[in-house]
Structure formats: C-alpha cells, structure tokens
Amino acid sequence: MLDLKRIYLQFSKKNFKFLNISSCFIADIFVAAYIYILYTDPKLYEDYLSTTAKMMEQVDKASASMMKDPVFQKQIVDLMIQSAITLICIYLIIHLFIYLFRFYDKELADGYLKFYCWTAGVLMPIVALWDFSNPLVLMFIIPGIILLFNAFGFKYQRQMKEE
C-alpha cells in the first residue's frame, strides 16, 4: 500500500508550501477556464432571452416586444458576459491574495487553503464523474486529485523538515 506519510515527510515545509500554492493556483485556472467557457457563450443568453420573451408575451406584450429588440438583446448579452468575466477576475484576485498570505505563513490563509483543498479535492472529481458525458468537466479530475494530495499533506505539515 502507498505510504503517504513517507511521501509527505520527504517534502520540506517550504517545498510543500510552493506545491500547495502552485497546485491551488492551477486548480483556480481550471475553474476560471470552465466558468469562462460555460458562461461567456452568447448563444446561451440568446436562448434564455428568446424563452423569456415568449413567456413575457403572455403577461405583458409591450415588455415582450422590448425583449425581442436585437439591440436590447445584445446589450443584455454583453452585460452578462462582462459580469461573468468580472466575477472570474475577482475570484482570481482574492485567491492570489490568499496565496500571498500563505507564502508569508499567515494562519488564516493556511486554514482557508486546508478547507479549499479538502472541498475542491473531493468535489472536483465527483463533479467530473457525475457528468461524464460532458468532456469539458473531465478536466477537473487531475486538479481534484492533486488538491486531495495537498489536503492530506496538511496533516503532516508540522512534521516536515525546515529548509
């Protein structure tokens, strides 16, 4: 059987910290890319708008005609895409600050990354296997396993050698 303790104790605290920060950042890039690909497709919002316009016709004809206006639709689609990009950027900036705090050994960042590694390490592969028909989701298997490796490593972090 694989002796994880022996593997983790070969790391120095500094090397584990760099592994932890870099693997979490790579997982963030995967998540950001997935959200970008999924939520910046104009067709997605155009379909929603056409469905909404059909439902609005039953309630208010004037609002439904406004919903069918191509200029209005383009503005809504652009707004939704910009919102998705903005949220991705905020997500990445917040995590970059957390990685910076982890680099300087702040306890809050350490706790956050433990939680992040455990939740993402477990949930990423589950999501990938849950929706096996979507090849885009399969990209979560490898980062999920790496984050799970990190999560188990936190248990041995105090026993790792200094460097």
Per-residue pLDDT tens for 111-122?
A: 999 999 999 999
pLDDT in tens, 73-86: 899 999 999 999 99
Mean pLDDT within 46-61 = 83
Mean confidence (pLDDT) of the chain: 89
pLDDT in tens, 142-151: 899 999 999 9
CA proximity to 18, closest of 120, 92, 105: 105
User: CA neighbours within 13 Å on the CB side: how many for 134?
Assistant: 13
- The three-state (H, E, C) secondary structure of the chain, written as one string: CCCHHHHHHCCEHHHHHHHHHHHHHHHHHHHHHHHHHHHCCHHHHHHHHHHHHHHHHHHCHHHHHHHCCHHHHHHHHHHHHHHHHHHHHHHHHHHHHHHHHHHCCCHHHHHHHHHHHHHHHHHHHHHHHHCCCCCCHHHHHHHHHHHHHHHHHHHHHHHCECC
pLDDT given at position 63: 77
d(CA 128, CA 141): 6
pLDDT given at position 136: 79
Task: Look at 9-18, 20-29, 113-122, 127-136 and tell me which has the smallest mean pLDDT.
Answer: 127-136
Would the pTM of this model clear 0.95, i.e. be above it? no
C-beta separation of 160 from 12 below 8 A: yes
